[in-house]
Each structure stands twice: as structure tokens, then as C-alpha cells.
Amino acid sequence: MKLTFLGGAGEVGRSAVLIESAGRHTMVDYGIKIYEGGPAEYPLVPYKKINDVVISHAHLDHVGFLPMVYEREIVPWYGTPPTAALAELLIADAMKVQELNGFENPYTVESFERAMNNFEAVEYNNEIKMKSGHTLTLHDAGHILGAAICELGIEGRSVIYTGDFNLSDTRMHKGASFAEDIDILITESTYADREHPDRKGEERKLLKNIEKALERGGCALVPAFAVGRAQELLAILYDKFEGVDIYLDGMAIKATDIYLRFPEYIKDAEALHESVHNAIIVRKPYMRQRAVKGQSIIISPAGMLSGGNALWYLDHLPPNSSVTLTGYCAEGTNGWRLANKGCILKDGREKKMNYFVEQVDLSAHASRSDLWRLIKRTNPELVIAMHGDHCFQFADELKEKGFSAIAPSMGETIPIK
């Protein structure tokens, strides 16, 4: 067996692993890397024809390049049903954004449609045989709706590709659990170099910053990623501020509809249902004007303020409003600028924002200690670290502790004996 890392090696974004065994080729994830206002970056395209594709979850860094496969061949791709529904929403949006920014998409709408037509649904914990002949079992990764840890059976070995995973419980999902007998572990390493702060403390920080604005007659804007974070926020904020309107805007609305379509994939679907019922869904522009009149909470993408209606709100919030960033903001994004410099970039100039700004960590990724806990417990023959900015250091640390570990480079092939 040979593993080739076509993307996501030593970086977060464009994850893609090609598994070759007995002349068969399986692609595991095929993502893109997105930059604010700039062209996306893509993984490498394999020379060989592939037999099938496995997608761990619907985030664009794992699925955004899937239509490219269908530019030249028709093969099945496997994932959970919510992954297919969310992927359709997110890929269509990414294609639109690329065009709006003046960049050409590398694949056609027809290829995107062909991808959507060749989806094969796999439920959690249900072993199937793939077209390539390998077995595949998807396990709940505790990351976003339908996210899976992918267990492949190849040449009598178990190869686990974690995708993105979370070992801790959140409002939406139970933490992931792992099999004990792993041979090869390909793990995400997003937080290999750091711990998450205490989640309860972060939630308190969020509530406090909202309260501060509401008490002073302002609005509380909470920019959020459409998939995962927006729904988590609805559940956190539900019943915390009696009589205060909570608005939900932008792509988070469609993503939330998909969440509600798959209640069996959520820890407490009833609670999400209640909190959506309690929220005001922004379906018409005039509702936005109403939302910024004061003393309301607004949940709106984009999480890093890289686009979406959150930017409109930033321009129209009343005085004494607050903005709470709810996750990682890449350097150079408006979210990062606001958190670090108190301004955003507008028409090429920095514009000062006079709001109460706070940043909290509601991450849905494993922390450094979670990664170590997992590796020690499963004790695989080989650990391959990808999907992180510190993969090489992480692999070195693992080797120092006696594990066999590799952090591949982009395009590198690792033979498995």
C-alpha cells in the first residue's frame, strides 16, 4: 500500500490523500484552501485514474475540490447523507464567491452536478465494501453534522483517517470515540501545539460581551461559520436572554435547515429545534434594518468577517454594540484585524470600529492533549500527522516519545510495508 499526500500536508486546507493498493486508487478527501478575496488553492491532481472517493465531512477544506474528479471520470464517492447535503450547499456557494471575486472555477457546473449524482450514502458504524474493494466504516467524529472518522480496511490492515474530530462533547455532538486496534493513523493536527481554554469560561465570556451591549442599548453581533458554529450558538443562547430577539442570517439559515433535516445526527435535536423556533430568521432585507434598531442578538456568517451579511451589520450597528468572534480568524482577515487592531479593511482603507470586541474559542477540533491521549490509547504502528501548521514539530515530538511518526510534505508518497 502507498499513501500520497496531494494536499493538507503541513498546512490547514486542501486535504487530499490518495491510497494505492493492488492497482486500485482511493481518494480520501479532496478539499480546497480559501483566501479572503483571493483565488482558492487546490490540491495536486493524480496522474492515475481513481476508483472511488471517501469524504470525511462537508467543510470546503475537505470536499471543495470533489467536482474536479468528475471532470474526467465517473466514480462513486462515499460519505454520510448530511455530508452530501452540506457539501452541495457549500460547494455551490464557493463557486459563486470565486466568480464574484473575478476568478474562474477549475471545474464546470456539470462536473459539480455529476459529483452530486454519484454520491453513495454510508451511515455511521455500518461497514460497506467500496468499488475499489476496500472496506469502509464511518464513525461519528463529533466535529460538524455528519462528520466522520474514516476507517478503511486495506490489505488486512486498518487505516484510520480522522478528518477533523473533537473528543469533547459540544451542544450539537457527542465527542468522538476510537477503535483500539489501529494499524495506521492519519490524524488532523490543527491544535497539535496548543490547548483550548476551558469551554465553560469561553461561553461565559461570550454571554458577558452580549450582555454588555444589551445593557447599554446596543446590539450584539456574533459572526459565525454557517455550518456548525451558528447552530452551536443558537443552542448556547437559547433561554439565556429572555425577551431579547435573536436573529439568524445568511447561509447559516440554509445550513440550519439541513441540521434540522438530520435529527439523528445531532446530540439533542429537540433543543436545536426549540432554539431555531425561538429565533427570527432574516428572510427579507427590511428585517436586517429592524435587527439593528438595538437590544438584539444577531448571528451571521462569515465567522472571520471575510464576507457575508456580518459585514453589512458591522456598518449599521448602533453605538454601544458588541462583536464577539467565535473562533479562529486567519491572519489578514477582517476578523483578525478587528480582534487585534480594532478595525476592518473597507475600500482598501482601515476603518476603526467602536464596538466592544471579544474573541472566544468554541473550537470543534481536538486539543493538543486530546491528540496525545488518542495516540497513546490507540498505539498505532505508524502515525501520520497532517492538517496543521505544526505537523513537523508534532511528528518529531511523537518520535521522541517512541512512536513511529511522519509528517509528509505536499506530493510525498509514503510506502506502507
Name the site residues for Zn ion (rule: CB under 5 A): 59, 61, 164
**Nearest approach, Cβ of residue 211 and Zn ion (Å):** 30
For Zn ion, the closer of residues 189 and 309 by Cβ is 189
H or E element that contains 356: strand 356-359
Q: What are phi and psi of 275, to 5 degrees?
A: -70, -30
**Nearest approach, Cβ of residue 368 and Zn ion (Å):** 17
For Zn ion, the closer of residues 93 and 164 by Cβ is 164
Q: Is the backbone peptide bond immediately before 220 cis, with ω within 30 degrees of 0?
A: no
Cα angle 142, 148, 150; round to 5: 135
**Nearest approach, Cβ of residue 87 and Zn ion (Å):** 12
For Zn ion, the closer of residues 160 and 314 by Cβ is 160
Minimal CA–CA distance to 176: which of 389, 377, 323? 377
**Nearest approach, Cβ of residue 183 and Zn ion (Å):** 23
For Zn ion, the closer of residues 52 and 164 by Cβ is 164
**Nearest approach, Cβ of residue 314 and Zn ion (Å):** 25
For Zn ion, the closer of residues 59 and 390 by Cβ is 59
**CB-based contacts of 408, cutoff 8 Å, min separation 6:** 3, 5, 9, 10, 384, 386, 414
DSSP 14: -
Could you give the CA distance from residue 228 to residue 147 in angstroms, rounded to a whole number?
11
Could you give the CA distance from residue 87 to residue 130 in angstroms, rounded to a whole number?
20
Could you give the CA distance from residue 258 to residue 89 in angstroms, rounded to a whole number?
9
**Nearest approach, Cβ of residue 166 and Zn ion (Å):** 10
Beta strand spans in 192-342 (E)? 220-223, 245-248, 280-281, 296-300, 322-325
**Nearest approach, Cβ of residue 62 and Zn ion (Å):** 6
**Nearest approach, Cβ of residue 266 and Zn ion (Å):** 16
Minimal CA–CA distance to 88: which of 146, 37, 128? 146
Could you give the CA distance from residue 191 to residue 373 in angstroms, rounded to a whole number?
13
> 360 near 324, Cβ under 8 Å?
yes
For Zn ion, the closer of residues 209 and 326 by Cβ is 326
For Zn ion, the closer of residues 59 and 229 by Cβ is 59
For Zn ion, the closer of residues 61 and 232 by Cβ is 61
